Chain A
Amino acid sequence: MSAPGRTYTAKHWIGPGIIAVLLLLAVIALISWLWSAAHQPKIVEPTPAPLALLDRQIPDGPNAVLLRRGRYLVIAGDCVSCHTREGGKPFNGGLGLNTPFGTIYSPDITGNTQTGIGGSNNDQFFSALHDGVAADGTHLYPAFPYPHFNKVSRADSDAILAYLKTVPGSPYTPPPNALPFPLNLRLSAAGWHMLFFHDHGFSPDPQKSAAWNRGAYLVEGLGHCSACHTPKNTFGAEEHSQAFRGAKLDNWFAPDLTGNPQAGLGKWTAAEIVEFLKTGRNVHTDAAGSMAEVVAYSTSQMSDADLNAIATYLKTIPPSPATNPKAPDANAMQAGGAVYFDSCTACHHDRGQGSPRLFPPLAGSAVAQQNDATSLIHFILAGGRAAPTPTRPSAPSMPSFAWKLTDQEIADVATYVRNSWGNKASPVTARQVVGLRKALKLHKSLPQKDRAAQIDDGGHSRG
């Protein structure tokens, strides 16, 4: 028995066509999300062990100038952070970038010819760095920030390769990326590339100073700062209109770097930006969270001239618009103030003044006043450690409060910090804390809290 004949018209194609387009968009969105979520490795202690390698003297010789320059650029690009697994040799790859969809592992980029880049030629390397296209023509996942490295000059690319070829490393093959279909198809990376990659390169602005142009080259190129600090649109492409206004990433909020005086760098002088990048500290804050690693491995090793250039460029980013946050609940402020008085004053002191360059002041703190409170909650829950740097080797740390404070107490103390001593930012809810506690896989506070909290506020009236 034959099926009844059917005539297909254009009308019939619309449905499946829309579905196909939507599917493609969904895949692209997933890839984009994967990029934005996976770009920064999960924060582990900023062990400067790789610095032993980066510090090693390059002996004089015909290639010394090229190699030293290459090494410097590798530092400026913070390659070591993503290309070193825990316990592994620097640049040997294998760090798993965790995403909800699976894990992408960074490849070996040491000089060995088997699994590293020892066999690559300058063209192949430039193609990967500049266009995200591997030697075999496949497209790299945009977890590798080639849209930024696109701005790196050919000469710099050659120098980077020359240095990496000298990095010792035994062959190492990372585990296969654990991605579900269709993300495991390299073709999907090609699709993303086609839609969102623009080969602009870098063109200096003749109206601006040499320092500004150098800063732009570093910030927009090798430094790939906006990969973390700029919000993404639905498809994971950076929202250029929102450039450097801060973005949520891997359970942190990379703060606003615009001239906004409250949440951004508006109150920071160029010299203070330089000090922060060089030492990991300034009067405003300490580098902790994801930025600790960037400072430890990258910016603290850079030249003063380049740090000044970066500061010059950053200081010209126009301020993000002021916000008008909702006023906090009086009960939340009172409870949060009580938690603060007993739990935070040891380091941040009674008026949030902190101890500049050791314990970050909270009064006027940009980190505390971001529109998105993720980083503040993250620090309270899990603690944080300031980057140890050559000039400031101490790593003052905030302990984890996850065991001690309930979600509501954390929300209230965060609200208090965001709205005291002149600070002004939206209140934090217990729900936000619950979510982050879960995402960070932290236990609940001790169940005995209920009983202990019965300690009466009457205080010591009889003694």
Chain B
Amino acid sequence: MVIRQKPVDVVLVGFGWTGAIMAQQLCDAGFNVLALERSASQTTPDNFATTFDQDELRYMWRHHLFQNVKYSTLTFRNNPMQQALPMRHLGSFLPGTGVGGAGVHWNGQIWRFLPADFQLKSHNEKRYGKQATNGLTIQDWPVSYDELEPHYTQFDLVCGTSGKAGNLKGAIQPGGNPFEGMRSQEYPTPPLPMTYAPAMFAKVAAALGHHPFPHPAGNLSKPYTNPYGAQLGACTFCGFCEKFGCGNYAKASPQTTLIPYIMQKSNFELRTECEVLKVEKTPDGKTATGVTYIDSSGVQHFQPASIVVLTAYQFHNVHLLLLSGIGKPYNSQTGEGVVGKNYCYQTMSSVEVFFEDKILNPFIGAGALASVIDDFNGDNFDHSGLGFIGGAYIAALVTGARPIEMTRVPKEAGKWGLAWKKAAAKYFLRSFSISVHGSSYAQANNCLDLDPTYRDQFGRPMLRMTFDFPDNDIKMAKYCTDRATDVAKAMGASSVTPKAQKAPYSIVPYQTTHNVGGTMMGDSPNTSVVNKYSQSWDVSNVFVTGAGLFPQNAGYNPTATLAALAFMSAQAIKTDYRKAPGPLVHA
């Protein structure tokens, strides 16, 4: 039996960052909006209160706020020659679940991509020749930085981002990132103060001729009230951001920035414990009629809607398109199709830095507390003769020092035994890690499709991931990690351990939850899943948000960019689409 629900104007599939942005924008424009969330409501005092939030075991290692693979997982292999097997335990990436999604347990790193990142293929081929992109299936974006800038600013205003502009309306500003695209206004709040390690890093990096600046942070330097009246507090540097919720309202999240405002709207409703199984279409397949979902008691419902927006995590958006027959699935053998193509990640490297005589107190941290240099990111440096394109930001990032994960020892101390113990006791306060946060570019084998063997709890084929790091990215990682090592050594460290990313990619150790691509945007239905307004080429009343839209990943955290794209999409829905429902870009 399928229960037919009362029709709505817009149904949102998932209620994290982009669901909240869509709800706010579309409710304000007068649409009746329903958000379907597969898991439960989550609030600060109930789920990540200051009374118990600083619990590394429960949140990080026992996955208290993460997607539970017991109920929802995917299969993985490095290449098409292998058999994909289920991810039986979370590791490499940590998608969220419940209201707020991964926006609850993110670090709050709020980056804009570089202008050249949006013309990645044409820019690099122009500068370095066609062969520079050999072996990669990278594409230009259908939007430019300048088009997206107002929406980046919208997101900064929502979050109250703390930082220092480096390029204000074209004028380079001292103390900011001189490589960034122009900003139409200064950050809403000033940068976070720096602890010892990032302060030292900035000093040394500047002496080496680099251009250090404070990391843009969603962990706020001072209390802030956003344009929707939502209030955030000042960060108290507890060091429990990533993998944890924020107990004292200091981290921008859907809960702290938009949900309080949305919930007061009489044209908004949130329905939790409802997992969407499929987007339903008219017989000609050109129009979505709504979604089918299953509630917590196992009853199926049909939710009619004029507009369907997939606002779930990237994997689930790709999965739903494949299961619903929207867009042509990508086949890595033939190169045909688009849905699931250009799955990319983030090429994460690091350099561990040890001192004999400096107390760094690394437990004083915040998710985006860092001094950064962007001198080796994107195309901010000359790649001639290097044999790769792309790059990484290099950051003395002190997110805290949760001791199970972050008790560092010099390599020679090993991983256990007396030498390890003595080194742990000595270096916990005297070490930190430099993050080398690299780009991830597409290659033909890397993709997402439906698994032929494994089925999920609803009997649907699981999503299958095929991924390994392209040679290009491994070379980039080596080069940028070497540059980070140069800075580390110049800091007077007694011991330095570079950890450049290596192939093959392993799904076991935690790296980052930056899974991108698969529903990429572009200029043509032959090369992309959605147009620049995130609208499906095939079913024009289906919109898709999230990092799946990226044709490939830049050397930055994805949240601000996916948020800006959601604002841009919402803008198009409430103006042009409302006036004339149908394709916003003609193929």
Contacts and interface: CB of A to CB of B under 8 A. Distances in A.
Contact of B425 (A343, A346, A392, A463): A463
A48 interface: yes
A408 B247 CA distance: 25
The interface size bin for chain A is 20 to 34
Interface in A41-79: 48, 51-52, 55
A12 to B, nearest CB: 64
A346 B236 contact: yes
Contacts of B45: 383, 385, 397-400
A392 B230 CA distance: 6
Interface string A297-340: 00000000000000000000000000000000000000000000
Contact of A395 (B52, B232, B234, B260): B260
A463 B428 contact: yes
A182 interface: no
Given A388-B264, A393-B229, A394-B256, A345 B51 contact: no
Nearest to A384: B45
Given A345-B236, A346-B247, A398-B45, A358 B266 contact: no
Contacts of B223: 355, 357-358
A51 B248 contact: no
B264 A48 contact: yes
A358 B247 contact: no
Contacts of A357: 223, 231
Given A357-B231, A399-B45, A401-B51, A394 B249 contact: yes
A198 interface: no
Interface in B416-463: 425-426, 428-429
Nearest to B249: A396
Contacts of B526: none
B493 interface: no
A179 to B, nearest CB: 35
A391 B233 contact: no
A163 interface: no
A357 B51 CA distance: 21
B577 to A, nearest CB: 27
Nearest to A53: B266
Given A358-B223, A400-B45, A347 B233 contact: yes
A393 B51 contact: no
Nearest to B230: A394
Contact of A358 (B49, B50, B229, B233): B233
| Chain B interface, DSSP helix/strand/loop, else mixed | loop
A392 B43 CA distance: 17
Interface in A369-426: 383, 385, 388, 390-401, 403-404
A91 interface: no
Given A345-B236, A358-B223, A397-B44, A52 B266 contact: yes
Interface residues of B, number: 32
A355 B233 contact: yes
A394 B260 contact: yes
B233 A359 contact: yes
Nearest to A281: B231
A391, A396, A399 — most chain B CB neighbours (10 Å): A399
A200 interface: no
B263 A346 contact: no
B31 interface: no
A390 B264 contact: yes
B199 interface: no
Nearest to B47: A399
Contact of B51 (A52, A388, A391, A399): A399
Contact of B248 (A52, A346, A394, A403): A346
Contacts of B52: 404
Contact of B261 (A359, A385, A393): A393
Contacts of B261: 393
A343 B51 contact: yes
Contact of A347 (B43, B228, B248): B248
B141 to A, nearest CB: 34
A208 interface: no
B238 interface: yes
Contacts of B426: 463
A383 B46 CA distance: 10
Contacts of B260: 388, 393-395
A394 B264 contact: no
B27 to A, nearest CB: 13
Closest 8 CB pairs of A and B: A399-B49, A397-B45, A393-B260, A52-B266, A399-B45, A346-B50, A394-B231, A394-B260
20 contacts: A51-B264, A51-B266, A346-B236, A347-B248, A358-B231, A358-B233, A359-B233, A383-B45, A388-B260, A392-B229, A393-B229, A393-B230, A393-B264, A394-B249, A396-B233, A397-B45, A400-B49, A400-B51, A401-B51, A404-B52
Given A358-B231, A463-B425, 15 more contacts: A51-B264, A355-B233, A355-B234, A392-B225, A394-B230, A396-B249, A397-B43, A398-B45, A399-B44, A399-B46, A399-B247, A400-B51, A404-B51, A463-B426, A463-B429
Interface of B: 43-46, 49-52, 223, 225, 228-234, 236, 238, 247-249, 256, 260-261, 263-264, 266, 425-426, 428-429
